[in-house]
Chains A and B, each alone.
Chain A
Amino acid sequence: MLSINLQHSDKFIVIFASCFITKGHGRSLIIDSQRGKFDLIPNDMVDFIQNSKLYTIRTLFKIYGTDNKEIVESYLSFILENEYGFLANDKIRKKFPEIEVKWQHPSKITNSIIDVKVFETTQEIYLQTISQLDTLQCEALQIRSYISLSESQLTYLAEAIKNTCIEHLEIYTKYNDQLTLKKLNKLLLNNQKISNIIIHSASKEDEYEVIKNLSTIYYTAQTLTDETCCGLVEKQYFNAIKDHYMEANFHNSCLNRKLSIDGNGEIKNCPSMSKSYGNAKDTNLVSVLTNEDFTAIWNIKKDFVLTCQDCEFRYVCTDCRAYVETPDNLYAKPLKCGYDPYTNEWSDWKENPLKQKAISEYQLTNVKRTLF
Chain B
Amino acid sequence: MILIKSNADDYSTTQVLKWLVHFNKKFLRLNNSTLLKHLEIKDDTISFVYGNQKVILSDVSKYWYRRGRWDTFSRKQLRHIQDKKLNTYLNFFNKEVERDVIATLEKSLFSKSLNSYQTSSNINKLDVLKSCKELGIKTPETLVTNSKEALKDFVTTHTTIITKAVNNLDPNIKGNVFADLMTKKITLENLDTLPKTFNISLFQNLVEKEFEIRSFFLVDTFYSMAIFSQNDEKTKVDFRNYNMKSPNRCVPFTLPTSLASKLRELLKIYKLNSASLDIIYTTDDEYKFLEINPIGQYDMVSKPCNYYLDVEIANHLAS
Contacts and interface: CB of A to CB of B under 8 A. Distances in A.
* Interaction A to B: yes
Interface of A: 16-18, 34-35, 83, 86, 89, 91-92, 95-102, 104, 106-108, 137, 165, 242, 246
7 closest Cβ contacts across the A-B interface? Answer: A106-B18, A106-B22, A17-B251, A106-B19, A99-B306, A95-B254, A97-B252
B253 A96 contact: yes
Given A107-B18, A137-B21, A95 B249 contact: no
Interface of B: 15, 18-19, 21-22, 210, 226, 228, 231, 246-247, 249-256, 281, 285, 303-306, 308, 310-311
Given A91-B285, A95-B254, A96-B251, A104 B228 contact: no
A223 to B, nearest CB: 35
Nearest to B307: A100
A137 B18 contact: yes
28 contacts: A16-B251, A17-B305, A18-B249, A18-B250, A34-B249, A34-B250, A35-B247, A83-B231, A86-B228, A86-B249, A89-B285, A92-B285, A95-B253, A95-B254, A95-B255, A96-B226, A97-B252, A102-B306, A102-B308, A104-B308, A106-B15, A106-B19, A106-B21, A106-B311, A137-B18, A137-B22, A242-B304, A246-B306
A305 B45 CA distance: 61
Main secondary structure of the interface of A (DSSP, over half): loop
- Which of A95, A99, A165, A246 counts the most B-chain CB atoms under 10 A from its CB? A95
B285 A34 contact: no
A83 B249 contact: yes
A243 to B, nearest CB: 9
A99 B311 contact: no
A83 to B, nearest CB: 6
A18 B304 contact: yes
B250 A99 contact: no
Nearest to B18: A106
B230 to A, nearest CB: 10
Contact of A92 (B281, B303, B304): B281
B252 A96 contact: yes
A21 B285 CA distance: 29
A99 B18 contact: no
Contacts of A137: 18, 21-22
B137 to A, nearest CB: 17
Nearest to A108: B22
Contacts of A107: 18, 22
Contacts of A16: 249, 251
B141 to A, nearest CB: 23
Contacts of B254: 95-97
Contacts of A97: 252-254
B93 to A, nearest CB: 38
B4 to A, nearest CB: 15
Contacts of A34: 247, 249-250, 304
Contacts of B251: 16-18, 96, 99
